Amino acid sequence: YYSLTEEGRSLLAKGTQRIFVRRNNQWDGNWNIVTYSIPERMRQARDRFRLELGWMGYGALCEATWISPYDLTKEVEDLAETLQIKEYIQMFQAKHQESTDPEKIVSRCWDLGKIHQMYADFLTEYRPKLEGHLKRLQAGETIEPSECFVERFKLIHEYRKLPFFDPDLPLELLPENWLRPQAAALFDECHGLLTEKANEYFDSVSKNYRGARRA
């Protein structure tokens, strides 16, 4: 039978953490900077490095200079070592100066307008769904475990994309009407409502599968 490799399990664990664990958005005013000059012969590693930096929440200030308000030195070093490009990267910390407009830096590195709209779309779709589930429960209706499993799967599928686009910037760097807190709270409430019965359904199916394999 098929199973995940160690790398696959690690990626899955990181993805789960990205969805369910949010950063403590305290900012000390420092920008953590990664620069690199990776040879063209190592283009594949360079492309992977850029992709992973974006996944970590870094933004591209220019082609070979990426910044983050968080100190992710260890994560970047581990990635560079895995890709065998450690000798081609440099990391620095720089203090944010009062003469520099942080909003301009943020708008240059991240498309917050696009991310904001993604959160708005999620709220538009799932607020009515949550209200519908709650009304059914208040009316004494039973929601079947199989339905909870399907709905939770759809919920996670729709929401999981958002944390990968969102760099999870500190509040000081975000617009006042930022929708991430509302979307995260809605996700948590929907997920909590569906999880017990969804797990019940999964356990019943997997139990039957394990029994069939033993037979």
Summarize pLDDT for 188-215 with one digit per residue, the tens: 999 999 999 999 999 988 876 655 444 4
Ranges in the chain annotated CATH 3.30.70.240 = 24-107
Share of residues in the chain with pLDDT > 70 (%): 85
Listed residue (111, 121, 138) closest to 186, CA to CA: 121
Q: Are 137 and 87 in contact (CB under 8 A)?
A: no
Looking at the domain that runs over 24-107, which CATH code has it been given?
Answer: 3.30.70.240
Q: Which pTM value belongs to this model?
A: 0.81
pLDDT, position 101: 79
Angstrom distance (rounded) from CA 163 to CA 29? 23
Phi-psi region of 15 (alpha: psi -120 to 50; beta: other; left: phi over 0): alpha
Beta-carbon-side half-sphere exposure of residue 91 (alpha carbons within 13 Å)? 17
Count CB-CB contacts under 10 A for residue 80. Answer: 21
pLDDT, position 205: 87
The two structure tokens encoding residue 140: 């004494």
Round the average pLDDT of the chain to a whole number and report it. Answer: 88
Q: What is the mean pLDDT of residues 92-104?
A: 81
Phi, psi at residue 167, to the nearest 5°?
A: -75, 0
Please, which pLDDT band fits residue 41 given cuts at 50, 70 and 90? very high
Q: What is the mean pLDDT of residues 70-88?
A: 95
Q: What is the mean pLDDT of residues 123-128?
A: 96
pLDDT, position 213: 47
Question: What is the four-CA torsion angle of 111, 32, 176, 118, rounded to 10 degrees?
Answer: 30
